[in-house]
Amino acid sequence: MIDFILGLGMAVEMFTNGSGISADFARWLYARRVRVVLKMNTFDPALQDRLAGRQGAAGLIASALERLKAAGYPSDEAFLAISTIICRPNLPELPHLWCWLRDQASRPISKSLPPRAVPTRTRGFPWIRHLRGVFETLCQIDRERYGRVWEIQPPLVGNRCLRHQFSCLVTASGNVTPCVGVTLPLGNIRTQTLQQIIQTSPVLEDLRNYRQTIKGTCRNCEKADGCYGCRGAAYQITGDYLASDPLCWRCHAS
């Protein structure tokens, strides 16, 4: 599949939990300059296994990282990132994890996720304060230690999601959804072409034109030209993919 995509002149970015990254496969990926994003949430093996829901997950990640490094990752030509969710159990070690990744030239990607058991209306929800604190701490570390300046806004630390301008998700069974968070089925590529689905989906149309369709605080926010928060969080927490991002602290200012 990777060779097929490369043959179409497109770049490949592969998100992986580390399964199947043998030494040979790591070298194969490096030779094709595949961008690799490895999922790792903590240094604590027991916690990693628990967060991944699978015993041995931490060992898989550690082996994959070792093999990718032996193959030449990360380098100027071969991008390696570590993707981390921000959740209550890993909050205390996130600054250390962030610096560890920066120091070895891997790109850290940290993303806020809705915590389990989310109240439907989250005004005053204490998690938002924790979340904002993490963004502020990592922002300060990047500015003072690495000379990287960015503004805090959810859901990605030091970055933003604008995937709905150019992207959708096709699952292994052919179902098409806007992204991993907006799990609304739009069609299936076994019965329609991807082009038909993309061109006729009112949901994708809404998301592409979010400046006209988004609701609440996100609609009038000064950052709205380059931010819509996480549409997945909005959908999973409120049921409305156009609602204001319930995990953004701006939506909870009293």
Give the 3-state secondary structure of residue 110: strand
Q: Shortest CA distance to 228 belongs to which of 156, 149, 124, 131?
A: 156
Whole-angstrom distance, CA of residue 85 vs CA of residue 202: 30
Q: What is the CB neighbour count within 10 angstroms for residue 100?
A: 14
- In the complex with ligand SF4, which residue's Cβ is closer, 67 or 250? 250
Candidates 51, 97, 131, 221; binder of ligand SF4 (CB under 6 A) is 221
Q: Is 248 in the site for ligand SF4 (CB under 6 A)?
A: yes
Rank residues 73 and 135 by Cβ distance to ligand SF4 and give the closer one. 135
- What string marks each residue from 123 to 162 as x (binds ligand SF4 by CB under 6 A) or -? ------------------------------xxx-----x-
CB 152 within 8 A of CB 135: yes
Binding residues for ligand SF4, rule CB under 6 A, total 25
Determine the Cα angle at 19 with ends 102 and 159, to 5°.
35
Report the nearest approach of ligand SF4 to the CB of residue 206 (Å). 13
Q: Please, which of residues 174-203 interact with ligand SF4 by CB under 6 A?
A: 179-182
Under DSSP, is residue 178 helix (H, G, I), strand (E, B) or coil?
Answer: coil
How does DSSP classify residue 91? Answer: G
- Return the range that interacts with ligand SF4 (CB under 6 A); candidates 4-12, 46-54, 81-89, 213-221: 213-221
Kindly indicate which of the ranges 41-49, 81-89, 185-193, 220-228 contains the residues binding ligand SF4, using the contact rule CB under 6 A: 220-228
Cβ-based nearer residue to ligand SF4, 22 or 167: 167
In our burial notation (b when 16+ CB lie closer than 10 A, e otherwise), range 200-213 reads ebebbebbbebeee
Determine contact, residues 251/216, Cβ cutoff 8 Å: yes
Q: Which residues bind ligand SF4 (CB under 6 A)?
A: 153-155, 161, 163, 179-182, 217-218, 221, 223-224, 227-232, 244-245, 248, 250-251
